Structure 1
Amino acid sequence: MPVALVGLVLIPAIAGSLRLVELAGGPLLLPANPRMTASPAPVVAHITSAIAYAVLGALQLSASLRRRHPVWHRAAGRVVLVLGMAVALSALWMTLFYARQPGTGELAFLFRLAFGSGMAASITLGFAAIRRGDVARHQAWMTRAYALALGAGTQTFSLGVGHAAFGTGALTTDLSLGVGWAVNLAVAEYVIRRRHNGRTPRVTSKVGTS
């Protein structure tokens, strides 16, 4: 599972890395984005934290790794929590204070606000749950947070399908972005319910993330 999850974000991770090269003074390898070059700090924070969160978060979701290396899981969980909040809050900052992305409309703006806030809330609720020793709810909320963070990976496909089928208008783009997040949340809920119908996880720690 970790390999599949990391593979899902490979394309946006590569694009983000190329953007970082550009912002560091390197060659222009992607279409110019004046919004980011005018205020690079938020996007640098977002890209770096998102790539690290995608990799570490995938490992945290591996049940076998949690069982074999519980100490590592707890230590990495603290890092994942900070990275996840950095991803969510930087995304919200860019949504609110960057100029709107060309080719998108009000619906995309609302989606970004809703799902960015949802990710931050999920991480907060997941942390609160593990502090209470409620492993099942902790795992559920952290799974939802990770699913929302991987929206960019799924959107690579939903945008491609949406544009091929319905054109490249703003409404199509907005809805395709929403579909990416919705698909990830649906898969997350399936995983959560399947886990719940299996067995109730044993409390192993008061602090950490899954």
Structure 2
Amino acid sequence: MTLSAKRDWLVPASLIMLSAVPVIAGVARTAELTGGAAVTPENARFFASPVPVLVHVVGASLYCLLGAFQFAPVFRRRRPGWHRLAGRVLIPCGLAAALSGLWMALFYPRPPIDHVLVTPMRLVFGTAMFCCIVLGLVAIRRRDIPRHRAWMARGYAIGLGAGTQVLTHLPWMLLVGQPSGIGRAFLMLAGWVINLAAVEWALHRRLTGPARSIQRRVDAPAGVLASQ
């Protein structure tokens, strides 16, 4: 593998690693619900209504893992049909993850370690993820590829928030212990904000990079093709 190819795989590999902890936690939760584990105060809400959490685990896991490959340019160039085929799986998975997350935020009892602010934050970011995916779908139906990419990247960033939240929680856990209350709320918020900031930085860099100077010298349709 050439150095350029390795660089192309750096982003998707990082995204898969970032997804690993929440995906493993989701698999463990699924095994708990389907394997007859004992009901405890911590998991009672999931046993009382298991369908939303199972939908969320499956939808979010596929969305995060499969979506990572959409950020591998070399993979997409070698398999031009991959992006469209994967999108037909990713969009329903992402919408299912967002809607099930909203349902759980609204109807599951709030865990004792969660501050009251966590519920509205989940509602805001869950709604934003749903809207980003829908706007991305609308954009591609209009053949507006730049806007499609931007909205889908934002939706993916929100969906991957649980992975980044592992990183924001880790230093606190090592230094202080299990976060709770307002501290936990801000650590969760930081995960979503970091991801969205990274996406906006990448989108801005793409618009202001060398491709933009080339685009100015071509007509509009050719410019759209050059951005693909």
Give me the TM-score of the superposition, normalised by structure 1.
0.89
SS at match of 1:70: coil
* Deviation for aligned residue 1:20: 0.5
Partner residue of 1:180 out of 175, 182, 191: 191
2:49 is matched with: 39
SS at match of 1:106: coil
Q: Is the 8 A contact 1:163 1:173 kept in 2?
A: no
Q: 1:11-50 maps to which residues of 2 (within 5 A)?
A: 11-27=21-37, 32-50=42-60
Name the aligned partner's letter for residue 59 of structure 1. F
Partner residue of 1:89 out of 93, 99, 123: 99
Q: Is the 8 A contact 2:115 2:181 kept in 1?
A: yes
Quote the Cα distance in structure 1 between the aligned partners of 2:128 and 2:189.
13
Q: 1:142-157 maps to which residues of 2 (within 5 A)?
A: 142-157=152-167
Partner residue of 2:117 out of 79, 101, 107: 107
Report Cα offsets for 1:38-81 as digits up to 9, x if no partner: 10000000001111111111111222222222212111111111
- Detail structure 1 runs of 4+ shifted over 6 Å in the superposition: none
* Deviation for aligned residue 1:164: 5.0
Residue 194 to residue 154, structure 1, CA distance change in 2 (3 Å): same
Q: Count how many residue pairs are aligned between Structure 1 and Structure 2.
A: 204
1:63 is matched with: 73
Residue 31 to residue 9, structure 1, CA distance change in 2 (3 Å): farther
Residue 12 to residue 82, structure 1, CA distance change in 2 (3 Å): same
Partner residue of 1:134 out of 128, 144, 163: 144
Q: Is the 8 A contact 1:162 1:172 kept in 2?
A: no
SS at match of 1:101: coil
SS at match of 2:111: coil
Report Cα offsets for 1:81-120 as digits up to 9, x if no partner: 1111011011001001111122112211111011000100
Quote the Cα distance in structure 1 between the aligned partners of 2:155 and 2:114.
24
Q: Which moved more, 1:133-142 or 1:63-72?
A: 63-72
Q: Is the 8 A contact 2:19 2:65 kept in 1?
A: no
RMSD: 2.2
Quote the Cα distance in structure 1 between the aligned partners of 2:152 and 2:225.
16
1:117 is matched with: 127
What residue ranges of structure 1 are gaps of 5+ in the alignment?
Answer: 205-209
Give me the TM-score of the superposition, normalised by structure 2.
0.83
Which structure has the larger Rg?
2
The answer to whether residue 171 in structure 2 is matched with residue 170 in structure 1 is no
Higher relative contact order (CA 8 A, sep 6+): 1
Q: Is the 8 A contact 1:155 1:177 kept in 2?
A: yes
